[in-house]
Amino acid sequence: MELLIIIPQIFAYLLTVFLLASGIYFLFFAVAARFYHEDEEAISEEGVRKKKVVLLIPAYKEDYVIIETAAKAQKHFSRLANCEVVVIGDQLRPFNEKVLDYFKVKVIPVFFRVSSKSKSIRYALSRLDNDYDYVLVLDADNAMAPGFVDHIVSKLDKGHKVVQGHRVAKNKNNQMAILDAISEAVNNAIFRIGHRSVGLTASLIGSGFGAEYKYFKSLINKCTSIGGFDKELELMIIKDGHSIAYARNAVVLDEKIQDSNDFVNQRRRWLSAQMVYLQAGVKQLFTGRISANYLDKIIQFVLPPRVLAMGTSLLISLLAAGSLYFSNEFSGLFWLSLLVFLINGLSVAIATPGEFYSIKTLRALWALPKGYFLTMLALLKVKNANKQFLHTTHKFSETA
Average pLDDT of the segment spanning 16-24: 96
* Structure confidence at residue 1 (pLDDT): 46
Domain segments of the chain as ranges: 2-34+290-387, 51-278
**Choice among 8-17, 267-276, 352-361 with the minimum mean pLDDT:** 267-276
Mean pLDDT of all residues in the chain? Answer: 88
Q: What's the pLDDT at 397?
A: 55
The predicted pLDDT at position 185 comes to 96
When the candidates are 3.40.309.10, 3.90.550.10, 3.40.50.300, 3.30.70.270, the CATH number that belongs to 51-278 is 3.90.550.10
pLDDT band of residue 227 (cuts 50, 70, 90) is confident
Question: Quick one: pLDDT at residue 326?
Answer: 74
Q: For residues 142-167, give the mean pLDDT.
A: 96
Residue 396 has pLDDT above 60, yes or no: no
Average of per-residue pLDDT across 289-313: 91
As a three-state string, the secondary structure of the chain is: CHHHHHHHHHHHHHHHHHHHHHHHHHHHHHHHHCCCCCCCCCCCCCCCCCEEEEEEEEEECCCCCHHHHHHHHHHCCCCCEEEEEEEEEECCCHHHHHHHHHCCCEEEEECCCCCCHHHHHHHHHHHCCCCCCEEEECCCCCEECCCHHHHHHHHHHCCCCEEEEEEEECCCCCHHHHHHHHHHHHHHHHHHHHHHHCCCCCCCCCCCEEEEHHHHHHHHCCCCCCCCHHHHHHHHHHHCCCCEEEEEEEEEEECCCCCHHHHHHHHHHHHHHHHHHHHHHHHHHCCCCCCHHHHHHHHHHHCCCHHHHHHHHHHHHHHHHHHCCCCCCCHHHHHHHHHHHHHHHHHHHHHCCHHHCCHHHHHHHHHHHHHHHHHHHHHHCCCCHHHCCCCCCCCCCCCC
> What pTM was estimated for this model as a whole?
0.91
- pLDDT of 357-386, one tens digit each? 999 999 999 999 999 998 888 888 777 656
Q: Reply yes or no on whether the pLDDT at 400 is more than 50.
A: no
Q: Per residue in 79-112, pLDDT tens?
A: 999 999 999 998 889 898 889 988 889 999 998 8
The pLDDT tens digits for 166-195 are: 999 998 888 888 999 999 999 999 999 999
| Count of CB atoms situated within 10 Å of the CB of 371 | 24
Confidence of residue 127 (pLDDT cuts 50, 70, 90): very high
Write down the pLDDT at residue 331. 86
